[in-house]
């Protein structure tokens, strides 16, 4: 018998098994526009334009980052896929686009079919929450490149918006109001700093705090909230001028991305409840406030900017759809991107 691919560390049979196990999760995301089935060379999706007269496709791509290290340590892999979907679809909806479909890419040192199926289950759950179809993906076994029990995951989403309805922040003006949508936790950013703090003490992940209602590890693995359905429902009824997804760079980097030159976001501290996990992180690392707001979402995962007369309607609609929100500030003249007031 000659040397085989399996001898080199790649088990194609495990790949076949992984596909069989994930099929049931993937098919749950399909809608009437999906053509074909899992296993094709490409994902096919038929465009149903409805009343869209000037269709524009909006694409977003991202991964999960070093949050994966906590999933490895805790051996929990069924939610990390939702993080990947959320990071992509939340970006796409910032332009007013409705996500259509998603594709993922998973690379691992050793392909364990059951683990990959759990990862894809999380991806499928995220797609269902976002209202988009998981139409394809790729799983790569790369022995010697990744450690045997480790993996990386990335993906991309494609959405659609009518050109006249694109949201890009250009309509934002002085006096407009910032509405913050509550986050589910740390989401998927700042984990290089988080890991430095929680893994310094190897027992910290297992610590349980009454304010969290769970262990530190369980809190940190909570999946990123997906805002798509709530935001799209708001857009059907009210004019939103700018949307910022609060990811890497926190408030300080992301809100200015949707502000015209000469305007800044004036953020009112204390106008929303900062989640307990952020208070713990701040204490563990003796981290300054500005560094916290430049790294984490601080309890606000997305910011909508609208005219004052629309605020009550937007907040009420978000409440109806199950998205807690808060008026956290306003747009004023100035420079510097974001200013914080007491």
Average pLDDT over residues 111-135: 96
Of residues 142 and 21, more confidently modeled: 142
Contact 233, 295 (CB under 8 A): no
Domains and CATH numbers, the chain: 12-165 (3.30.1330.10), 177-341 (3.90.650.10)
pLDDT of 3 above 80: no
Q: Which of 123, 76, 83 is nearest to 104 (CA)?
A: 123
Q: What is the pLDDT of residues 56-96, one digit of tens each?
A: 999 999 999 999 999 999 999 999 999 999 999 999 999 99
Residues comprising the chain, all counted: 342
- pTM > 0.85: yes
Structure tokens at 96: 């007013």
Contact 221, 71 (CB under 8 A): yes
Q: Cβ neighbours of residue 140 under 8 Å, at least 6 residues apart?
A: 105, 106, 107, 108
Q: What is the pLDDT of residues 29-53, one digit of tens each?
A: 999 999 988 878 899 999 989 889 9
pLDDT of 1 above 70: no
Instruction: Categorize the per-residue pLDDT at 242 as very low, low, confident or very high, splitting at 50, 70 and 90.
Output: very high
Contact 127, 133 (CB under 8 A): yes
- Report the sign of the C-alpha dihedral through residues 323, 95, 57, 158, in that order: negative
Instruction: Categorize the per-residue pLDDT at 280 as very low, low, confident or very high, splitting at 50, 70 and 90.
Output: very high
Amino acid 16: pLDDT: 78
Q: Cβ neighbours of residue 114 under 8 Å, at least 6 residues apart?
A: 21
Q: What are phi and psi of 165, to 5 degrees?
A: -105, 10
Contact 26, 38 (CB under 8 A): yes
């Amino acid at each position: 018998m000659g040397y085989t691919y399996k001898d080199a560390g790649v088990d194609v049979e495990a790949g076949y098994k992984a596909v069989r196990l994930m099929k049931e999760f993937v098919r749950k995301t399909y809608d009437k526009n999906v053509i074909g089935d899992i296993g094709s060379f490409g994902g096919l999706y038929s465009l149903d334009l409805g009343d869209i007269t000037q269709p524009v496709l909006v694409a977003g791509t991202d991964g999960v980052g070093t949050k994966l290290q906590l999933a490895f340590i805790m051996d929990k892999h069924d939610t990390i896929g939702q993080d990947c979907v959320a990071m992509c679809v939340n970006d796409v909806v910032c332009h007013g686009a409705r996500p259509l479909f998603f594709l993922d890419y998973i690379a691992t040192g050793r392909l364990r079919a059951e683990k990959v199926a759990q990862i894809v289950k999380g991806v499928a759950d995220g797609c269902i929450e976002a209202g988009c179809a998981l139409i394809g993906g790729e799983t790569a076994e790369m022995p010697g490149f990744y450690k045997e029990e480790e993996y990386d995951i990335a993906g991309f989403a494609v959405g659609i918006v009518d050109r006249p309805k694109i949201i890009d922040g250009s309509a934002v003006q002085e006096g407009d109001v910032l509405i913050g949508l509550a986050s589910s936790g740390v989401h998927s950013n700042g984990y290089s700093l988080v890991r430095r703090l929680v893994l310094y003490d190897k027992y910290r992940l297992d610590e349980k705090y009454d304010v969290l209602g769970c262990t530190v590890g369980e809190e940190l693995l909570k999946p990123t909230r997906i805002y798509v359905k709530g935001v799209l429902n708001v857009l059907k009824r009210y004019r939103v001028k700018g949307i910022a997804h609060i990811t890497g760079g926190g408030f300080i980097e992301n809100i200015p991305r949707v502000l015209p030159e000469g305007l800044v976001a004036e953020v009112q501290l204390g106008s929303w409840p900062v989640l307990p996990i952020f208070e713990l992180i701040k204490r563990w690392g003796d981290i300054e406030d500005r560094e916290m707001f430049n790294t984490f979402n601080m309890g606000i995962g997305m910011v909508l900017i609208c005219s004052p007369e629309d605020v009550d309607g937007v907040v009420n609609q978000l409440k109806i759809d199950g998205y807690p929100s808060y008026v956290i500030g306003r747009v004023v003249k100035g420079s510097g991107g974001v200013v914080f007031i007491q």
